[in-house]
Structure 1
């Protein structure tokens, strides 16, 4: 038993010696030289004393007399007459005679259009009239198609082409995602 304890003590002592050798301090690097450090105290100019500004003296009023006394010498009552002149009497406003009621303006008759003043030709008038006539016949007939039906007929080939191009890929992708989801769930 003592031999076992002695061997444990030797192992512990050997471990401590090995750790001491590993932890032995090495020479540290020399401290960096601070030659390239900028010292602002050396570069800055010394602070100058502020230059005093010439401030004018403030003229204060005389202090009032204390004890509630009033300096009556400062007030002059020599001016008994007013400095203003009376205004002249107002002039009466001129009276104008009443005006007669204005006569209602007579409207000039509209000039009759002459054949030379037409903006469109007879051919244009005829084609426009025919187009409106066809429109009114279409609206009144039972074969009139609504705007929605026209749009459906125009969009059907475009939608068919898009579905032919994109639907198989979308279905394949969605089925693959669903299979992966189900497989992870088990």
Structure 2
């Protein structure tokens, strides 16, 4: 605004100076009238100041305090050492081989414990008995009225077993009842004596 007013004053002062210098010339010769100067432009109105916003003190008091910014976490000066990778466990050893089963001993074979260290009969007597039994076996085989063994065992032992069966049956029929009676009586006497001993002890 001040700049505009100073410009107007300057223009007016220059016009007055020009009019003062041209006065004698106008008197000498009437010059043509100079055109009227253009009117000075109207000053622009000063801009109105913007109204200040009304400040409500209740809003200021009601506003919550700003939350404090979280402090930045301190950077680790030392980086954690990486955990060592566990070495792969060695594979388990293979299971031991199963022991081979021991061969079954032949039950018909005489073991060293079963063999008598000293023979009961002398060698000549044993040979003589073997000869007699062999002769008996040949005589039995020659006879056709003997029962045929179901097992088909034609050995000397099998023949003797078949011959002894009737004799053993007859002996058991005659003596077994007496043996049973005697054994039972002996067991009963033992139990009675034991019971009497317990009564006396009590």
**TM-score using structure 1 length:** 0.23
Pair member with larger Rg: 2
**TM-score using structure 2 length:** 0.22
